[in-house]
Structure 1
Amino acid sequence: MRTVIMKEGATTHEGVVVKDNGNSDEVSSYYRFSQLLSSKDRDFLLSPTGAQVKVSDLEGKVVGLFFGANWYPPCRGFTQMLVGIYEELKSSVPQQFEIVYVSSDEDLDAFNGFYGTMPWLAIPFSDLETKKALNRKYEVEGIPCLIMLQPDGSKEDATIRDGVELLYRYGIQAYPFSKERLEELHEQEREKRENQTLTNLLANNHRGYVLGQNGRIQVPIASLVGKTIGLYFSAEWCVPCVKFTPKLISIYHKIKQELSEMRSEEDFEIVLVSHDRDQASFDSYYSTMPWLALPFGDPEIKNLARHFDVQGIPCLVIIGPNGKTITCHGRNLINLYQENAYPFTGEKVEQLEKQLTEEAKGLPRLVRHEGHRHELNLVSDGNGGGPFICCVCDEQGSNWAYQCLECGYEVHPRCVTNAC
């Protein structure tokens, strides 16, 4: 290891400046990035053009370390989103932001193919030691992973380790990815939740309506105020969505019918928030549905996904008559309680849970199920159960389940009854 004598008594080992007071945290961004991203044989990073970019060029910038690999689909999906954010930031703050790819690709060809889709810098594929050191330092346990480093290296707690979640939630609004900016965004979210109404969720300056009758009419958003509304995040390309939609249609009709028969002043409606990839897919998918929809590609779709932190689809968010969020777990409640879940409030769920507990007292403790070779035990949250995916209907369940203690096979009690 080489030692370089610096002015004013400071010394550096492999480019890490240690000041006279002995506090190695107080380092410039140049030497910090040099320590992290250089090696004894290399002081540069790769660029998409094949040119070598000096690590020193990162001085003074916010730097994102992107840990990923070509073989993992979520990395490919996240990369597409990250490219859009990167290019937008580089056009607005070109000298203040950069990303460095830290590859876990299988071989050089895979690295070249995947890196070819990226517009940012990369550590050479051959430098295994630097990549391993970065994985150890930031305790990277899964990919994609995005670590955000601030220019001021003296504040280690300023490092943001959940950059992937941060970008999915806030997008470019998260820049400059500092703790202070996150606090601002959290405060904005809190205020938005407190002031949330159906109108400010669904409308914008150019549109005060949603689509009805498969897009043939415009329904004023004002006419939905005072109703219980389900925001259905879904898409035709999503297999779980295509499986869940027919069930939701059936439940929707049953709830509407019950409210009509009761001559209730209450009403229930669903609005599709489409994640389809093109207009034709949206039109095809929406044509199967009896409810309302936001127009395809509407800017509020991304805002709603961020506002409700939608991590996957299908997702059913329930908004109460007062415009406030009742639950983001409407899909799970539909699976558990069908139409009885309406109006999805905490009080109703508590009532249904007590009812399930009473019904479970009459269920057999052990059953034989034709879909499985072992005996199944009746379990609850308190004795070995908990959230699960039913092996018969592929939908989520909780509370009571029949579980195989030998291999973890779990089914809804109703699915065992139906299948036996």
Structure 2
Amino acid sequence: MEGQDDGVAEQSQQHELQSILSCSDRDFLIRNNDDQVKVDNLKGKKVGLYFSASWCGPCQQFTPNLVEVYNELSAKGDFEIVFVSADQDEEAFKGYFSKMPWLAIPFSDSNMRDQLDELFKVMGIPYLVILDENGKVTTEDGVEFIRDYGVDAYPFTQERIKEIKEEEEKVKREQPLKFILASRSRDFVISANGNKVSIRAVIKYCGANSLVSISELKGKTIGLYFAESSYKKCVKFTPKLVEVYETLKAKGEKFEVVMIPFDDDEESFNQCFEKMPWLSLPYDDKSCVKLARYFEIPTIPVLAIIGPDGRTLQSDVVEAIEEHGTETYPFTPEKFSELEEKDKAKRDAQTLESILVSGDLDFVIGKDGDKVPISDLVGKNILLYFSAHWCPPCRAFTPKLVETYHQIKAKDDAFELIFISSDRDQTSFDEYYSEMPWLALPFEDERKEYLDRIFKVQGIPTLVAIGPTGRTVTTEARKLVMYHGADAYPFTEARLKEIEEAEDEEMANDPTEGDKEDNAEEGTKTKEGYVCDGDVCHKA
């Protein structure tokens, strides 16, 4: 979520709480037990306005962090949060609000919630605006402050964040490895057998009860493995990393791995970690959040590489290891340039069969469940639709795509669309696919992970266009469908240029046309018009 430049709110933004949080027939906020709290009780307090919704995955992930910080600060008595819901029904609002220990605008007051959205220019959620004791906006980046620094960010001013960053920079300059692996209360990492391995005196575990002094880390390469033991993608990648790790160790390469765990359950973490050959930070260690911020971790798994000089060599080599295995070592820019040349040659030689055929998996399925050979689709324009039933933005976009699909098929039969599901169970897949007129990859098909990787799918819905030669035309076809519908077909640069030229000519002939389009676009902005991408659901 983008706020003001550099995250600094304009100093002129000052608000009187009574006027922005109450109205003529309501002078109170509510708690999740329906108790009413007068807005006047917030006078003299710092207030966070939390824009969020139960349907938003990033919100669900962030809210527990905010609850933890709120509970830690509650003893101070000078900080309060007000929930501004973007839910679409009261039942969803109540269920989500029941998990929150703070106040809320009543769900029934939709006018006030809409006014706050407009007042604070909310374009994505979760979104947290912090007001000081006088109602002045101190930051619009409260989500980032909480996510990155937790309770240390209090009182959530730019000055406080600057202090934290200066402290971190000082530690990084003086002791980079200690900054990466240690915390104020811990100077050790742990081995799979439960031993504590001191960072100050010893920093590497090389086998059963074997410790090596920190001085011997010089000249070694360290992989920081950000993972959750039971998370599906981590479960799939970890064996590959174990294979690479053990192969490199067997060759005598100077390579170590330290896991940065994000497990929710300690027992699950312990059970999985005891099978791993490397070190780890302790379960639920606060440094995990610090490191996720430092390395700007967008998702997991991530394997960040620290070079022999303590500097970051690569921010993430998971995809490279999945694709190239031990060839990625020693993870230098020169090595990655070599790999990029290989990848480029592979992209240039890409065909539909090279991306959709894997061993015996040489088909997709039709609406009747019959297998459709990939060979039958060669030479056609293909759209790959990455989507899921549980994703509200996907369900909002699918009807538009269905309409566009029928329009394109009516004028060109050499066109097809394939659904690539991120659904969590077969029932959800079947229900969602029943709304679609096109082909699909079978549920939980192993080709999905490869397609996610080669097209760098970071959020859904995503729509990828493949041309008749099998090469990628664009990975941004969703936007083209949203803006131009079937007119964007076949989604090539040449076609887009034709559309732009036609629009320019139309504008020249009728200057008011642009205003009409702007007004029409504004009229379609609804609560459903969100795209969830990474840590935010933003308005499409």
Q: TM-score range by the shorter chain?
A: 0.7 to 0.9
Aligned residues: CA RMSD: 3.3
Checking the alignment, whether the CA contact within 8 Å between 2:192 and 2:275 is kept in structure 1 is no
- Alignment equivalent of 2:314, drawn from 327, 342, 348: 327
2:481 corresponding residue in structure 1:
none
1:396 corresponding residue in structure 2:
453
Checking the alignment, whether the CA contact within 8 Å between 1:374 and 1:404 is kept in structure 2 is no
1:225 is aligned to 2:217: yes
Q: Which amino acid aligns with 1:364?
A: A
Q: What does 1:368-387 correspond to in 2, within 5 Å?
A: 368=353, 369=356, 370-371=362-363, 372=374, 373-375=377-379
**Displacement, 1:272?**
1.5
1:62 is aligned to 2:46: yes
Equivalent position SS for 1:396: helix
Counterpart Cα distance in 2 of 1:299 and 1:225: 24
Q: Which amino acid aligns with 2:296?
A: D
Checking the alignment, whether the CA contact within 8 Å between 2:148 and 2:290 is kept in structure 1 is no
2:248 corresponding residue in structure 1:
255
**Displacement, 1:292?**
1.9
Equivalent position SS for 1:102: strand
1:381 corresponding residue in structure 2:
none
1:244 corresponding residue in structure 2:
237
1:295 is aligned to 2:287: no
1:127 corresponding residue in structure 2:
109
Q: Which moved more, 1:137-146 or 1:295-304?
A: 295-304
Q: Which moved more, 1:330-339 or 1:311-320?
A: 330-339
Give the total of aligned pairs: 358
Checking the alignment, whether the CA contact within 8 Å between 1:318 and 1:325 is kept in structure 2 is yes
Counterpart Cα distance in 2 of 1:376 and 1:283: 50
Compare relative contact order (CA 8 Å, sep 6+) and give the higher one, 1 or 2.
2
Q: Which amino acid aligns with 2:190?
A: L
**Displacement, 1:235?**
1.5
Counterpart Cα distance in 2 of 1:218 and 1:342: 26
Question: Deviations 1:273-296 (Å, cap 9, x if unpaired)?
Answer: 222233321122113322222233
2:72 corresponding residue in structure 1:
88
1:352 is aligned to 2:339: yes
1:210 corresponding residue in structure 2:
189
- Alignment equivalent of 1:106, drawn from 65, 83, 88: 88
The alpha-carbon distance between structure 1 residues 409 and 211, as it changes in their structure 2 partners (threshold 3 A), is: farther
Name the TM-score, length of structure 1 as normaliser.
0.74
Checking the alignment, whether the CA contact within 8 Å between 1:375 and 1:404 is kept in structure 2 is no
Counterpart Cα distance in 1 of 2:318 and 2:125: 27
The alpha-carbon distance between structure 1 residues 46 and 392, as it changes in their structure 2 partners (threshold 3 A), is: closer
1:76 corresponding residue in structure 2:
60
1:304 is aligned to 2:291: yes
Counterpart Cα distance in 2 of 1:336 and 1:208: 35
Checking the alignment, whether the CA contact within 8 Å between 2:313 and 2:332 is kept in structure 1 is yes
Equivalent position SS for 2:139: coil
Q: Which amino acid aligns with 1:286?
A: F
- Alignment equivalent of 1:161, drawn from 140, 143, 152: 140
**Displacement, 1:88?**
0.8
Checking the alignment, whether the CA contact within 8 Å between 1:66 and 1:144 is kept in structure 2 is yes
Name the TM-score, length of structure 2 as normaliser.
0.59
Equivalent position SS for 1:139: coil
Question: Deviations 1:375-415 (Å, cap 9, x if unpaired)?
Answer: 599xxxxxxxxxxx98452553479xx96248x997xxxxx
**Displacement, 1:214?**
4.1
Counterpart Cα distance in 2 of 1:288 and 1:308: 26
**Displacement, 1:247?**
1.6
**Displacement, 1:74?**
3.1
Checking the alignment, whether the CA contact within 8 Å between 2:244 and 2:325 is kept in structure 1 is yes
Question: Deviations 1:229-279 (Å, cap 9, x if unpaired)?
Answer: 11111112311111111121122223334x43xxxxx50011122222333
Counterpart Cα distance in 2 of 1:287 and 1:409: 44
1:116 is aligned to 2:103: no
The alpha-carbon distance between structure 1 residues 37 and 356, as it changes in their structure 2 partners (threshold 3 A), is: same
The alpha-carbon distance between structure 1 residues 185 and 209, as it changes in their structure 2 partners (threshold 3 A), is: closer
Unpaired stretches in structure 2, ≥5 consecutive residues: 1-10, 204-212, 357-361, 364-373, 382-421, 423-446, 457-463, 473-540
**Displacement, 1:216?**
5.8
Q: Which amino acid aligns with 2:221?
A: T
Counterpart Cα distance in 2 of 1:241 and 1:395: 15
- Alignment equivalent of 1:364, drawn from 349, 364, 387: 349
The alpha-carbon distance between structure 1 residues 374 and 192, as it changes in their structure 2 partners (threshold 3 A), is: farther
Checking the alignment, whether the CA contact within 8 Å between 2:171 and 2:179 is kept in structure 1 is no
The alpha-carbon distance between structure 1 residues 395 and 246, as it changes in their structure 2 partners (threshold 3 A), is: farther
Counterpart Cα distance in 2 of 1:249 and 1:159: 46
Q: Which amino acid aligns with 1:310?
A: I
Counterpart Cα distance in 2 of 1:365 and 1:203: 45
Question: Deviations 1:331-379 (Å, cap 9, x if unpaired)?
Answer: 233234322222223333233324544x449x636453435534599xx
The alpha-carbon distance between structure 1 residues 255 and 177, as it changes in their structure 2 partners (threshold 3 A), is: same
Q: Which amino acid aligns with 1:249?
A: V
Counterpart Cα distance in 2 of 1:101 and 1:83: 12
Q: Which moved more, 1:74-83 or 1:205-214?
A: 205-214
